[in-house]
Structure 1
Amino acid sequence: MEDELIDSSRLSLPRKSVLPGAGFFYPDEFDEERAEERAKEKLEDASVAVVTDTDADGLGCVALLREAYDAALDVADFEERIEERLGDEDEDEDDEEPALAGEDEEERPKSPVALMGSSPYSLEDDLQRVADYAPEGVEVYVCDLCPDKFEYVEEELAALVETAGEIHWYDHHQWKPEVAEAVREAGVDLVVGESDEECSTDVTLRELDYEFDERFSDLAAVTRDHDLWLNEDERSQDLADYAYWTSKEEYVAVVGAYGADLPPVVEEYIAHRRVEKENLIQAAVDRAELKTVGDWTVGVTYGRCSQNEVADALREAGADAAVVVKPAGSASIRGSDDFERCHEVADLVNGGGHPKAAGCKPDIYDDMLDYAHHWTTQGATTKRVILRAFEQVADAVEKEEAEAEAAADADDDEGVETER
């Protein structure tokens, strides 16, 4: 395949909005080989390994850990590279695969606190890589990740327990009790914060035995503002966007040095990237539809975009919940005060998350023809599958309410009978 065909920088915005980024087209084998090589290099001399989600919350945990272990990288090199990117007019601003082409972390100084970026879909592989490549007795932290089932990570966690000195797991997602119990029984120090009150950075800040500077407390608060969708601090969107657009190591170095008050060069870079971001958001909002499911109005759309801002716009248009289907096949589900069952919907379509925010990727893509249909129909099948999951949740809620009403009536009847 010619590189030009998957080069997002050459696409018009309408086309870029409906197609995935270049990284989508890389074979899994290529990604796995690259991941193995980079994991080995990062972990071979590490004293601490952090397996973490790569959003602002997960990376905020890494910034705290590197500060606590006196292992932060020099931020000056990263700031210089940001300046270079700002001067590069041909930079591929690819929202789906941030910093893939220019990410050269293996060429930079390594921290003894190794950063292993992960996701719910690669967690077991990344745990195994730490077990395979980290030194005996390494201290391990798993942050901002939650397995849907224990069997997904059972073997890899057992291998890691054999290698690691200690394993700490800090998270704030909705854990199934049986999964949490099994993880703890495996020998892990698992701490799960209240998902509607704390982010994982909060949990890490609280659990680490270290006197952090005030900028880290502020970083946790601003990260929480975005991660819990409070949107009360204007800096929180900057953190979220920056974590999405840049490399993992750069984000950790910058917020570790500056906290939530990002330096001018980063603010300039964010402003530069937001021009296209706003256009992609608007394209997704323009193609959205409102559907009625049970007592709820669900806004459904498709496109490469920032899902939180799109969800905000759909809520303003009257939606109780929003579904943003992505070109890569995944989808984001966002709720509101009137809909706090996003995780229940996601559970039905190969996903999970929080009551007001969740993600999923329905298992419906068997070959590239399925993806071609996905792009040309703007996610029609995925939308239909997720809306069906909403219907299942609505039916379950209706059944619960009917049973509760029947139980209440029975109690009333029993009370009347007793009086007689």
Structure 2
Amino acid sequence: MEEELIDSSRLSLPRKSVLPGTGFFYPDDLDEERAEERAKEKLEDADVAVVTDTDADGLGCVALLREVYDAALDVTDFEERIEDRLAEARGEVDEADEADEEDDRPQSPVALMGSSPYSLEDDLLRVAEYAPEGIDVFVCDLCPDRYEYVEEELEALAEVAGSIRWFDHHQWKPEVAEQVRAAGVDLVVGESDEECSTDVALRELDYEFDDRFVELAAVTRDHDLWLNEDERSQDLADYAYWTGKEEYVAIVGAYGADLPEVVEEYIAHRRVEKENLIETAVSRAEFKAVGDWTVGITYGRCSQNEVADALREEGADAAVIVKPAGSASIRGSEDFERAHEVAGLVNGGGHPKAAGCKPDIYDDMLDYAHHWTTQGATTKRVILDAFERVAETPVEGEEETDSADAADAEASE
């Protein structure tokens, strides 16, 4: 197959909105082989390994840890590469260097192992296999749904690591947290509606951080908890999504939440397409009544938080954004705080007001082809069915609370 057929940069915006990115079409074994090579390169001489989610919150933890260990990479080279990308976008050069940006850059002794809920066990095992004995390991902004998913990997890691610390803020099942701690892990879980993982790392690390790191945690929290009170938080979220992991960590480590001018220019350039993709996804939305809720559901490659905000403005209590790669984001509101319950029924999890999932319904490429050509019809139906099941299940303690409220009301009368 010709590579240009899967190169999403060549697609018109309507087609780009319907199809997944280029990386989706690469076989897993190629990704696995490359991941193994990169892990070995990063870990073999590392003093510290950080297995982390790759959003702004997870990467913010890495910036703090590199400050603690005096292991930040030089920011100058990253800024020059951003300038090159902008020059290409403005047509001032023919083409910027498209080589893997992490390949030819010095490695930090605090190795960044980008992970996700779906690859956590693999990444833990890579640290156990390739890291030197006695390495300090941190796991950030990740939460396993079941201990069995990470049991063997943590056992292997415990035999190698000098220490394992885990900073998170998601909603952990009590039995999973207990089992992880019993495996020798120093697990600290912050209040999911008050702290982000960067907050947890900031207070748990024994280090006197400069004000820029304190502010970085606050602005990261503003986005990660969907407070949206600081306009800089969306810049951090977008930048973390659009650029390489190492670049983001180096930039925020050097500048905190006040990004340099060249980065702001880069974000503004990328945001033009982002806004168009958001508008396209919002225009596709349907609104369904499920129990007492109005669920807005749509499809497309887009920024899910902004789309969810738009759907809420149009009357949705909950928003579902189905992605071309088969996953979906579920966002709640003050009137719907059960997103994690819905996601839990369709191979996912998360927070009461924000969760993610990927229904186990894709058996072959024909299923994906149907997914793209119907704009997620089957996935939408499966997730709406999950909403129906949650609507039929009362919130734990709801009846007792209602009875108590009624009793209080009668007493006051």
TM-score of the pair, normalised by structure 1: 0.93
Pairing 1:259–2:260 present? no
Are the equivalent residues in 2 in contact too, given 1:23–1:100 (CA < 8 A)?
no
State the alpha-carbon separation in 2 of the partners of residues 332 and 289 from structure 1: 15
Q: Identify the range of structure 1 (60-69 vs 398-407) with the bigger mean alpha-carbon deviation.
A: 398-407
Partner of 1:361: 358
- CA positional deviation for 1:102: 4.6
Partner of 1:277: 274
Q: How big is each residue's C-alpha offset from its partner over 1:29-61, in whole Å with a ceiling of 9 and x where there is no partner?
A: 000000000000000000000000000000000
Pairing 1:67–2:74 present? no
Partner of 2:22: 22
Paired residue secondary structure (1:88)? helix
AA paired with 1:377?
T
- CA positional deviation for 1:101: 5.9
Partner of 1:96: none
- CA positional deviation for 1:275: 0.4
Partner of 2:40: 40
Pairing 1:201–2:206 present? no
Alignment of 1:70-81 (within 5 A): 70-81=70-81
State the alpha-carbon separation in 1 of the partners of residues 360 and 386 from structure 2: 13
AA paired with 2:384?
L
Aligned length: 404
Q: 1:162 to 1:262 in 2, by over 3 A?
A: same
State the alpha-carbon separation in 1 of the partners of residues 218 and 311 from structure 2: 26
- CA positional deviation for 1:104: 2.5
Paired residue secondary structure (1:340)? coil
AA paired with 1:134?
A
Pairing 1:222–2:211 present? no
- CA positional deviation for 1:405: 6.6
* Structure 2 stretches lacking a partner, 5+ long: 409-413
State the alpha-carbon separation in 2 of the partners of residues 399 and 158 from structure 1: 34
- CA positional deviation for 1:9: 1.5
- CA positional deviation for 1:89: 3.3
Partner of 1:418: none
Q: 1:209 to 1:18 in 2, by over 3 A?
A: same
Q: 1:405 to 1:276 in 2, by over 3 A?
A: closer
Partner of 1:248: 245
Are the equivalent residues in 2 in contact too, given 1:170–1:192 (CA < 8 A)?
yes
Partner of 2:113: 116
Q: Identify the range of structure 1 (308-317 vs 99-108) with the bigger mean alpha-carbon deviation.
A: 99-108
State the alpha-carbon separation in 2 of the partners of residues 75 and 282 from structure 1: 35
State the alpha-carbon separation in 1 of the partners of residues 238 and 405 from structure 2: 49
- CA positional deviation for 1:69: 0.4
AA paired with 2:101?
D
Are the equivalent residues in 2 in contact too, given 1:9–1:90 (CA < 8 A)?
no
Q: 1:364 to 1:36 in 2, by over 3 A?
A: same
Amino-acid identity (%): 83
Are the equivalent residues in 2 in contact too, given 1:315–1:322 (CA < 8 A)?
yes
AA paired with 2:329?
S
State the alpha-carbon separation in 1 of the partners of residues 405 and 201 from structure 2: 44
Q: Which among 99, 102, 105 is matched to residue 105 of structure 1?
A: 102
State the alpha-carbon separation in 2 of the partners of residues 12 and 90 from structure 1: 19
Paired residue secondary structure (2:159)? helix
- CA positional deviation for 1:392: 0.7
AA paired with 1:206?
R
Q: CA RMSD in A?
A: 2.0
Q: How big is each residue's C-alpha offset from its partner over 1:163-188, in whole Å with a ceiling of 9 and x where there is no partner?
A: 00000000000000000000000000
Are the equivalent residues in 2 in contact too, given 1:41–1:106 (CA < 8 A)?
no
Q: How big is each residue's C-alpha offset from its partner over 1:172-220, in whole Å with a ceiling of 9 and x where there is no partner?
A: 0000000000000000000000000000000000000000000000000
Paired residue secondary structure (2:89)? coil
Partner of 1:390: 387
Are the equivalent residues in 2 in contact too, given 1:218–1:260 (CA < 8 A)?
yes
Q: 1:384 to 1:101 in 2, by over 3 A?
A: farther
AA paired with 2:327?
S
State the alpha-carbon separation in 1 of the partners of residues 61 and 400 from structure 2: 43
Runs of 4+ in 1 over 6 A off after TM superposition: 402-409
Paired residue secondary structure (2:294)? strand
Partner of 2:411: none
State the alpha-carbon separation in 1 of the partners of residues 194 and 284 from structure 2: 33
Paired residue secondary structure (1:210)? coil
State the alpha-carbon separation in 2 of the partners of residues 373 and 45 from structure 1: 46
Pairing 1:136–2:133 present? yes
State the alpha-carbon separation in 2 of the partners of residues 211 and 405 from structure 1: 47
- CA positional deviation for 1:87: 1.3
Partner of 2:235: 238
Partner of 1:160: 157
Alignment of 1:319-334 (within 5 A): 319-334=316-331
AA paired with 1:230?
L
State the alpha-carbon separation in 2 of the partners of residues 101 and 330 from structure 1: 28
Q: 1:131 to 1:90 in 2, by over 3 A?
A: farther
Q: Which among 171, 182, 191 is matched to residue 174 of structure 1?
A: 171
Are the equivalent residues in 2 in contact too, given 1:174–1:353 (CA < 8 A)?
yes
- CA positional deviation for 1:407: 10
Q: 1:403 to 1:196 in 2, by over 3 A?
A: closer
- CA positional deviation for 1:8: 1.0
AA paired with 1:315?
R
- CA positional deviation for 1:107: 1.4
- CA positional deviation for 1:103: 3.2
State the alpha-carbon separation in 1 of the partners of residues 32 and 98 from structure 2: 16
- CA positional deviation for 1:280: 0.2
State the alpha-carbon separation in 2 of the partners of residues 160 and 122 from structure 1: 15
AA paired with 1:44?
E
Paired residue secondary structure (2:359)? coil
